Amino acid sequence: MKRSHSIAGLALALVSSVAAADAGDFVITGGAVNIDNSHSYSGPQQNEISPSIVTQTKLVPSSFSSPGTEQTVGDAVKPILSLTYFMTDRWAITAVGGIPPKLEIYGHGSVTTPGLLNKIVPPVEMGKPGNNPVASVLHWFPSVMIQYYFRERDDKLHPFVGVGLGYSFFTHVRLHENFAQGLKRTGSYLTTASTLDPTDSAEAEATSAFRPLYNVGVSYQVDKAWSVNFSASYVPIKTDAIIRVKDKYGKVALTSTAKLDIPTRATSATIGYTFQ
């Protein structure tokens, strides 16, 4: 007998489910996941200026916050794939993989240089429509989950719950060209103060971390091999979004960091096949 199996995770939280099976069975599942990041938010940008003549002369403080700034994350729809092993006819362990979604990062507010140079150094306009999305990233979330399936062996419908752990990390972080140019215009004042040359470059990254995931859903057993599955998952992603401006020698002139919370809600529809 088979039940459907579920997976949760992303490529930000990828989710899926598979029909329950006998102990020792493997189930492979594929389908699509909708990734909802509409509740994402961040704290204001925290800025650090490396030592130079502008900080040593107190023209600009070496660190300052930018109230009113925020970063949020867009939604995505992506394919998912998972493999489940049934330890018993009710307990299963699932490994989740798939293609990582491309997520767009949106900025709000402006980073304004405090101190005596406030009227000279142009602000970094994170909320300007022409600068958004300020960046894009690929989000990976390989994960492993333990699941429990309810009801009896011969039932067609099997509700399930799951809990697991995944590793959240980001690659291919790209700044929007207009936003990067704005960063470089501001950074050129800082690099000139330290190298007497306005040449600079801008880059970004996001930190990685292990994060929990939670999953519920239901599977429908079509026949002995095939199942149709629906599930919902929650993954509280957290990361530090870091922007750096460097001088022509590669030395960091400005670091701007925001602590980004991405309480991801992911829903999926998948088809599972059981190997006996």
Instruction: Give which of 39, 47, 170 is closest to 102, Cα–Cα.
Output: 170
Q: Domain spanning 2-275 has what CATH number?
A: 2.40.160.20
pLDDT of amino acid 116: 82
* Contact predicate 208/246, CB 8 Å: no
Interatomic CA distance for residues 142 and 95, integer angstroms: 8
Beta-strand runs (E) in 2-101? 2-7, 16-21, 26-36, 41-42, 45-49, 63-66, 70-73, 76-86, 91-98
Phi, psi angle pair for 55, to nearest 5°? -85, -35
pLDDT of amino acid 127: 95
Q: What is the pLDDT along the chain (276 residues), one digit of tens a residue?
A: 333 333 333 433 333 444 446 788 899 999 999 999 999 999 999 999 999 888 888 888 999 999 999 999 999 999 999 999 999 989 999 999 889 999 999 999 999 989 888 888 899 999 999 999 999 999 999 999 999 998 776 778 889 999 999 999 999 999 999 999 999 999 999 899 889 899 999 999 999 999 999 999 999 989 888 999 999 999 999 999 999 999 999 999 999 999 999 999 999 999 999 987
**pTM summary value:** 0.87
Q: Is 119 left (phi over 0), alpha (psi -120 to 50) or beta?
A: alpha
The predicted-structure confidence for 231-268, as pLDDT tens digits, reads as follows 999 999 999 999 999 999 999 999 999 999 999 999 99
The rounded Cα 187 to chain-centroid distance in angstroms is 27
The partner residues of 207 in beta bridges, in order of sequence, read none
Residue extents of the structural domains in the chain: 2-275
DSSP string for residues in 125-166: ETT-GGG-S-EEEEEE--EEEEEEE-S-TT-SEEEEEEEEEE
pLDDT of amino acid 81: 92
Q: How many beta carbons lie within 10 A of that of residue 120, not counting itself?
A: 9
pLDDT of amino acid 2: 37
pLDDT of amino acid 151: 73
Q: Which residue has the tokens 């997520």?
A: 103
